[in-house]
Amino acid sequence: LMSTELKRKMKSNASKQSTTKNPYKAVQCDPDSEYITPGVFELEKLFWRGSGAAYTHVNEVWPSVYIGDEKTALERHNLEKTGITHTLNAAEGKWNNVATGPDYYHGMNIDYYGVEAEDIPTFNLSQFFYPAAQFIDHALSKPESKLLVHCVMGRSRSATLFLAYLMIYKNMTVVEAIEHVKERRCILPNRGFLKQLWIKTMSVLQKSIEEQDERRLTN
């Protein structure tokens, strides 16, 4: 038989585990929903299976949306040839980034938006999720537009911002967004960026729950 003291310790440990916030743990916010939000570690594992696309300088990941690298962003002639009308530089700046800008594309009829972001896990890229998503949505509101989203490698910063766009404007879950893009480009957001996307998902789910609760109370 289990001693009373052992039972007490097990109960205490279970209580501690249930109240500890672990971003790597899968979480189901809404008990009425079958969707379970994977933890950050599970999101990382999605990339272990590889990509449906070989790594190249640039790939079309959505109709009229291309994710590319520094080389792609600097080739003015090819951008004109492709018909790029908008550029989102997720690595703006001179040091270890892509030093383009509105002046670089002068005379090309390209709308430019730059984000000064570092590709390190501690950088708060989420502060740019909504502004970047709004720029992307505005660009795609015109059928003739073509958008290049890029950073240095076209794998982490630029990919993260486009994933956030899919979550915000296309109502995709973080898993759906990742699966869609990685089948079309070899991407690999760093762990910190994945955590920020995970937090974004959790906030959306929480808002949905609150809205459902409000509707239940008013009905």
- 53 and 184 Cβ atoms separated by less than 8 Å: yes
CB atoms within 10 A of CB 92: 18
The one catalytic residue in 65, 110, 151, 205 is 151
- 151 and 90 Cβ atoms separated by less than 8 Å: yes
Burial 155-184 (b: 16+ CB within 10 A, else e): bbbbbbbbbbbbbbeeebbbbebbebbbeb
Q: Which residue has the tokens 């097990």?
A: 10
29 catalytically annotated: no
* Residue type for position 82: T
| Neighbouring residues of 196: CB distance < 8 A, sequence distance ≥ 6 | 124, 125, 126, 129, 160
Q: List the catalytic residues.
A: 151
